[in-house]
Structure 1
Amino acid sequence: MKAVEREERGTAAAARLLAAFLMLALAFLSSPPAGLAAPAAAAAEEEDEEDTGAVTVADPLEHPFNRDMYVLNDFLVLYVLEPAARLEKALVPVELRTAFRNVLRNLRFPVRFANSLLQAKWDKAANEFASFFLNTTVGFLGIAEVATAAFPGLRQSPEDMGQTLAVWGWQESAYLMLPFFGPSTLRDLLGRVPDLVLDPLFFMNDPTLSFGLRGIEAVNDTSFRIGDYEAIQRAALDPYIAIRNGYIQNRTKLISE
């Protein structure tokens, strides 16, 4: 009997580990490469890094680490994330998918508000607070995005600690392609730590539930932009460089705003 119990416990533990890995694999695209890369049309014009000259970033780990991690993430996007997103899009009405996205974005108000203050972006901090208040009260805990509908100027700003560190002076940083988490830089990676502490999902007692929600969020967000990632791959001669350049361009734009 004890041997059977041990075997059952081992099987259950293995199942939980596998479930956690799959959730992590889905959660890595909280900020998917497809959403961060340059538009497919722009990527098509990027023949290579030397020809464009538009983006300069140190990439000391390009060979072999970053490119190997790109291959891993590419597999996860194409064969885990997007199939799950297509299934969700087919089964779940757009109204429910939008409501779920709104709630989680509203919950992450502390991250955006704190970083707006730390960057002395007072207007954005005020807009964040007003938006959070309206969406939480009138919008039923953020289910409805009423703030922007009523006041177009009250838009949520995707501020984070990576941008804050850049505003404080850490402008240039080495590029990283992280396993599961996608494109980043050393600066943005370190910035994830305080942002994580400010994220309400971090304080959930059940890590499986926390990872699960992040995984569902990644699938849900991808359901709104199915096909974007493949479009970049088709348009770019080197998708790795297209995604790297797109990420750096997007981060530079966010920092300057």
Structure 2
Amino acid sequence: MKSISRAIFPAAALVAAALTAGCAKPNPEALATGEVHDPHEARNRTVHAFNRGVDRYAFRPASQGYVTIVPPDMVNSFSNFAVNLSMPGQAVNSLLQGDVKQAGVALSRFAINTVLGIGGLGDPATDFNVPQVDTDFGETLHVWGVGEGSYVELPFFGPSNARDATGLVVDFFTNPLGYGSNPAENLDAYAEVVRRLGDRGTYSDTIDSILYDSADSYAQARLIYLQNRRFELGQTSETSEIDPFELDTEGF
């Protein structure tokens, strides 16, 4: 696995450099007013149509079957497990952001939930009032001064931007648990798919209203993503936040 790390991580760095080269530094005033930079809209809409098809005929029915068969407590436990596996990578990103305290919190959550939470299925760290941690390499790039760049919709992953798309690639390699020498070792990838199945099934009505009941589902999904992401990074005011899924992250 270490040899793979040495071979692949430089490639990830090159991808990051190539993608972030086009990420213009955002104008705070433009971000505050919700400006959208989408020069590749035609291509993005094609990807959006593809993603809707995958959701309609594969992911949506699979997720509904999953939450119908699996009890809610187990759905939450599997989500906890996926989040716990991401903690080492989040600790790495926290260090890259210069936030040593948050890195320590992420590692503390990982240790407590792994040992006392049966491998991360439970979340005793929250019961012990250990703060939640939710960061990624996209936020790291933001801290480093990289702008969000153009809006992009990614196949299977959905709404993003040039900076966060880069982060998605790099996060796969910065998490010590992120990949192995054979597919069977990529536990966190499989856990993340299960977590997303749970979210899709649990919040099916709301997501359906965006994807299938909106006059323009592409524009709606783009608006929700951009405003939420900018709010998370402190680039817009709280009043502009949109959270259509009303996720209760306390149980994750």
> Same-fold call, TM > 0.5?
yes
Distance 1:213 1:206 in 2: 13
> Per-residue displacement from partner, 1:199-246 (whole Å, max 9, x unpaired)?
324226226965654433332332222222122246643221121111
Check if 1:112 corresponds to 2:94: no
Alignment of 1:15-164 (within 5 A): 54-63=33-42, 65-151=43-129, 154-164=130-140
Contact map agreement 1:135 1:141 (CA 8 A) in 2: yes
Distance 2:136 2:88 in 1: 10
Structure 2 residues not aligned, in runs of 5+? 1-31, 236-252
Alpha-carbon RMSD across the aligned residues, in angstroms, is 2.4
Contact map agreement 2:88 2:106 (CA 8 A) in 1: no
Contact map agreement 1:86 1:223 (CA 8 A) in 2: yes
* Matching residue within 228, 252, 255 for 2:206: 228
Contact map agreement 2:94 2:102 (CA 8 A) in 1: yes
Identical residues among aligned pairs (%) = 31
How many pairs align?
202
Structure 1 residues not aligned, in runs of 5+? 1-52
* Matching residue within 193, 216, 219 for 1:215: 193
Contact map agreement 1:111 1:159 (CA 8 A) in 2: no
Change (3 A) 1:180 1:212: same
Distance 1:122 1:256 in 2: 20
Greater helix fraction, Structure 1 or Structure 2: 1
Letter in 2 for 1:177: E
Distance 2:123 2:191 in 1: 20
Change (3 A) 1:77 1:197: same
SS of aligned partner of 1:177: strand
Identify which of structures 1 and 2 has the higher relative contact order when contacts are C-alpha pairs closer than 8 Å and 6+ apart: 1
Tell me whether 231-240 or 74-83 shows the greater mean CA deviation.
Answer: 231-240
SS of aligned partner of 1:156: coil
Alignment of 1:165-244 (within 5 A): 165-199=141-175, 200-203=177-180, 205-206=182-183, 212-233=190-211, 236-244=214-222
Distance 1:54 1:81 in 2: 34
SS of aligned partner of 1:249: helix
Contact map agreement 1:57 1:173 (CA 8 A) in 2: no
Distance 1:127 1:208 in 2: 26
> Per-residue displacement from partner, 1:134-178 (whole Å, max 9, x unpaired)?
111111211111111231xx2332211111111111123111111
Q: Which has the larger radius of gyration?
A: 1
Letter in 2 for 1:82: R
Letter in 2 for 1:206: P
Distance 2:218 2:143 in 1: 27
Letter in 1 for 2:35: T
Change (3 A) 1:116 1:187: same
> Per-residue displacement from partner, 1:11-48 (whole Å, max 9, x unpaired)?
xxxxxxxxxxxxxxxxxxxxxxxxxxxxxxxxxxxxxx
